[in-house]
Amino acid sequence: MSTIHVNVVTPDGKVYDGDVEMVSVRTVEGELGILPRHIPLVAPLTVGAVRLKKGSTVEKVAVSGGFVEVRPDQVTILAEAAELPSGIDVERARQAKERAEKRIHSTQNDAVDFKRAELALKRAVNRLDVAGK
């Protein structure tokens, strides 16, 4: 089975570095599945899970926006923040979710605060999903 090399990098350092059979990412235009020898492209990412398929296992990485650069033999994900399930503090994500939900209910007349709270909620829900909670 042919593989493609994947790097997930954040401003804090490398989160993932390995060879997989398929990687899927969530771009602003929707889910993108990438196999070896994919055409080159660059696309902005939204909050979502990166799925790394290798044999019968699928590893997930929680990503909070950034860019994906695809080359035929290499995928680079430059993320604003990214965590493997083992790196996710579930209690922190639960608290962030609760905070964001409260803000969404109390800031409905302020579009900027509302949008910010909505994004914070998406990040928290994504982390809980990737952590399997």
Give the whole-angstrom CA distance, residue 96 versus residue 104.
12
HSE at residue 10, side-chain half, CA atoms within 13 A, is: 14
Nearest distance from residue 34's CB to ligand ATP, in Å?
23
Size of the chain in residues: 133
Give the whole-angstrom CA distance, residue 76 versus residue 19.
12
Q: Is 120 in the site for ligand ATP (CB under 6 A)?
A: yes
| Piece in contact with ligand ATP (CB under 6 A), picked from 35-43, 68-76, 87-95, 102-110 | 87-95
Using CB under 6 A as the binding rule, the residues of this chain from 65 to 84 that contact ligand ATP are 81, 83
- The residue ranges that bind ligand ATP (CB under 6 A) are 12, 64, 81, 83, 87-89, 92-93, 96, 120, 123, 127
